[in-house]
A and B are shown apart, each in its own frame.
Chain A
């Protein structure tokens, strides 16, 4: 069975600082990995995905993530955050068509 752990429930950061949101997963087979962003009162928007190939994945809004198979991690990074990046971020893993989501990390960007 697959599971996802997002270690930080909340990450406060100042504007223009770098940020890393951590995600670890467990699965016995090959997986697809995703990061979604959810702005208040909105649905999920796909930030980026890892399906195969290069372990460094670039997404929208300047975000990127690195798949580390040995550490079973898929951490999300951005070198310089903006106030508008304040949102909930969800990591998800899938062995097939049913994804398992983490509990989410609330990114709070302060001016």
Chain B
């Protein structure tokens, strides 16, 4: 049973470009959570999605950031017009049931560097 997959593992973007981060949940999981980890800080919740629905986006910056989890395919976290402050590690987690945080399984993360 494959774990949570994230790609790319490393992404370099110039200021002003777009970044697309992908997350494939564990088989059988239909709930996805995105977190951001800034250097020397803990993870910060960004958004919680189910298939075709955003359940909670209270941690998402109001501008430039968006997330989706389509009926088919991976969940996508999109950052438009990236700035240096977006440089961070972005982690995805998945679970099989609604809001069961103790059943969240984390992916290896995507490390975004904005130059």
User: Chain A interface (Cβ within 8 Å of chain B)?
Assistant: 4, 9, 32, 34, 36, 41-46, 49, 51, 90, 92, 94, 96-104
The 10 closest A-B pairs by CB, nearest first: A101-B42, A97-B99, A43-B106, A44-B106, A43-B108, A101-B43, A97-B101, A98-B45, A103-B42, A94-B101
Number of interface residues of B (CB under 8 A): 23
- Knowing A32-B101, A90-B42, the reply to whether A97 touches B107 (Cβ < 8 A) is no
Which residues B71-115 have CB closer than 8 A to chain A? Answer: 91, 98-102, 106-109, 111
Q: Complex Cα distance A98/B46, Å?
A: 9
Give the nearest-CB partner of A32 in chain B: B102
A90 touches B43 (CB 8 A): yes
| 10 further A-B pairs in the complex, CB-CB below 8 A; given A43-B107, A101-B42, A102-B42 | A41-B111, A42-B108, A96-B101, A97-B48, A97-B101, A98-B56, A99-B43, A99-B45, A99-B101, A104-B42
B91 touches A43 (CB 8 A): yes
A97 touches B42 (CB 8 A): no
B43 touches A44 (CB 8 A): yes
Across the interface, which residues of B come within 8 angstroms of A4, CB to CB?
42
Across the interface, which residues of A come within 8 angstroms of B108, CB to CB?
41-43
B106 touches A101 (CB 8 A): no
Question: Which of B40, B100, B109 has a CB less than 8 Å from the CB of A43?
Answer: B109
Asked whether B4 is an interface residue with its Cβ less than 8 Å from the other chain, the reply is yes
Question: Which of A44, A46, A101, A104 has a CB less than 8 Å from the CB of B40?
Answer: A104
Give the nearest-CB partner of B41 in chain A: A103
Which residues B1-56 have CB closer than 8 A to chain A? Answer: 4, 6, 40-45, 48, 56
Q: Complex Cα distance A4/B58, Å?
A: 19
Give the nearest-CB partner of A49 in chain B: B102
Across the interface, which residues of A come within 8 angstroms of B45, CB to CB?
98-100
B101 touches A98 (CB 8 A): yes
- Knowing A32-B101, A98-B45, A98-B56, the reply to whether A45 touches B40 (Cβ < 8 A) is no
Give the nearest-CB partner of A97 in chain B: B99
**Chain B nearest Cβ from A26, distance in angstroms:** 15
